[in-house]
Chains A and B, each alone.
Chain A
């Protein structure tokens, strides 16, 4: 029986890790469908960003109360993973509380700390669920989240509550069994919260207690494995990708738009034909029409987005009722990229499906509403730039489709002919000094 449990556990662990690794590989492949871009200069600054923005969650702290609550869930999850390590080893070796004896007093202290964190996680998850479902914060009831995304957020919070409750119940039944001197349950002493729960179980028979303890143990670890495999399909992937996304964040001024050397050269060769190489190939495409035309960092951004909506809540276009929502730009990019990924999985290589990110996922009206104010970029806690995707798509609209509102065409021709966006004579440029 014991060996059967061990074999079952190892098989479960292997399958879930294998499934996760396969999906992670697909995501990596999808991200690398984007255009190359070197983002590995200044490693010291990049590590600093990783530590401050991802690990330290610096931007979250612009709202300290929410930041602390978020940190409890996050720390809870990371630190309780130490406990998961023990659980995994117990599962493989068929032992119980493997670390209890070698760690001694420290073990009790640690598990007690985990219990405090677990209770903290449960409380914060309840607060977060009510922010979404009872208080209905504006950015959580936005139409961006209609359907699956709204459920996704709730599933994550509920799963965390369930996992933590299993952990506490497991410890509580364990404690009762310890007190009864069951040889498989070494005495560890009482932990604070499971100690409070244990009286509930004091009237149960040994067999029932063992059954409850084992069930909680199995559900807890199976839940963690299931959650691991849920991550890649969920907004919750940010708990992993926030780290590389902070590291590879663009370090230049956010006001600087990415240069297009191909266009720069084309203009240079038109002005100074003697510089033009004879074999210069014209660029394949201007701007971004589909995910392939974006940088790999834009695609990593899309997978890192946790749909919190701070970007859209700060967006001047979105808050004044325009169609544009920077969060939706990121969600649309991920949705399209996932669709492209499925296409590749089914056909070995991408087969044209007659769709593109521009038009089918992101409309012209959305793109037109952006003021390039950088509020979305400034707000994002995980270093995403929705603005860069917007401007790349705008480039495609203008340079590939000549799709501009009439007023912009006027602005373009004025700039080209009169060197100012308005219809004034360049001869009058210095009139202000004379008047």
Chain B
């Protein structure tokens, strides 16, 4: 897969339609890399001119900030905003709701003003515009899919419909969990929990959420966040259901259904 970096584009004086902010999970986590590739392949197929920052991208600082380390967050933000502004970036798409929230809501008052969209919103737009052509009777036609709302997409940014519309476009049967949309239960990864052990309790949050997802009887759990994906996958494995139930990102579902 050939993906242009901003540095390469700048050398030839080109500018992309959109910057794909890959994020740390999407760049390094083996499972999330597949989501990154699926999304990049969709952008390729629809002929979108996009670029990544590549080695110049750095953590947005979301986990550091939420853990309480404002210094580290401000350092990361300063560095990223310098790079983004240096390239004159106008529009950013990202597959990570945490990066999305930070870039969209927290960078502007630090001097980073961009149009930031989450990949599920972009996918919905591309489907609506007819740029994404889905196979007739695709792999998920009539299949039960349950969508797990990411906190940083849903409650934090009020995006509930875009991912669901994408799933409906796959002719899948969307089944909701007991707690969904604004009442959706967290996967347990946010607030830098991803990077530490749970506090003492009587249940892990991701297992509680996986149980809710499994209770829908859906064969596919759709996520829109690499961290939710990890947590839900672990939860499903913990219940030994990984052979019956797949946890996939919305981008992966779309990529597998495209002409």
Which A residues contact B (CB, under 8 angstroms)?
62, 252-257, 259-260, 263-264, 266-268, 271, 286-287, 314, 316-317, 319-324, 365, 368-375, 377-378, 391, 394-399, 404-405, 407-408, 410-412, 415-416, 419-422, 424, 426-435
Contact = CB atoms under 8 A, between A and B. Distances in A.
A39 to B, nearest CB: 16
B55 A426 contact: yes
Interface residues of B, number: 72
Given A316-B208, A422-B24, A429-B27, A323 B186 contact: no
A419 B58 CA distance: 5
A412 B27 contact: no
Contacts of B104: 253
Contact of A267 (B78, B191, B202): B78
B200 to A, nearest CB: 7
Given A267-B74, A371-B193, A415-B59, A316 B205 contact: yes
A267 to B, nearest CB: 4
Contacts of A391: 66, 68
A257 B105 CA distance: 9
Nearest to A324: B199
A394 B73 CA distance: 14
Interface centre among B37, B157, B189, B192 (most CB of A within 10 A): B192
17 contacts: A253-B101, A264-B110, A286-B70, A316-B208, A322-B198, A374-B155, A375-B185, A399-B71, A405-B197, A407-B197, A411-B63, A411-B196, A415-B61, A416-B72, A422-B24, A432-B27, A434-B1
A320 B76 CA distance: 33
Interface string B194-211: 111111111111001100
Interface centre among A369, A411, A430, A433 (most CB of B within 10 A): A433
Contacts, number: 209
Interface centre among B40, B69, B158, B209 (most CB of A within 10 A): B69
Nearest to A259: B109
B36 A432 contact: yes
Contacts of B37: 432-433
Interface centre among B22, B155, B208 (most CB of A within 10 A): B155
A253 B70 CA distance: 19
B64 A415 contact: yes
Given A320-B201, A323-B200, A396-B68, A420 B58 contact: yes
* Nearest 6 A/B pairs, CB to CB: A255-B156, A372-B191, A321-B202, A398-B68, A394-B68, A419-B58
Contacts of A287: 68, 70
A433 B2 contact: yes
A319 B20 CA distance: 37
A373 B3 contact: no
Interface string B38-58: 001000000000001011011
Nearest to A401: B68
Given A372-B190, A420-B59, A432 B33 contact: yes
B188 interface: yes
Given A267-B75, A411-B195, A416-B75, A322 B68 contact: no
B106 interface: yes
B131 interface: no
B125 interface: no
B60 to A, nearest CB: 10
Nearest to B189: A371
Interface centre among A260, A263, A372 (most CB of B within 10 A): A372
A321 B36 contact: no
A374 B101 CA distance: 13
A371 B27 contact: no
Nearest to A374: B155
Given A286-B70, A415-B61, A426-B55, A314 B183 contact: yes
A254 B189 contact: no
Given A316-B205, A323-B200, A255 B192 contact: no
B174 interface: no
A316 to B, nearest CB: 4
B165 interface: no
Contacts of A419: 57-59, 76, 79
A360 B197 CA distance: 24
A230 to B, nearest CB: 34
Interface string B113-152: 0000000000000000000000000000000000000011
A259 B110 contact: yes
Nearest to B150: A373
A373 to B, nearest CB: 4
Contacts of B63: 411, 415, 421
B64 to A, nearest CB: 5
A429 B27 CA distance: 5
B67 interface: yes
Contacts of A316: 185-186, 188, 205, 208-209
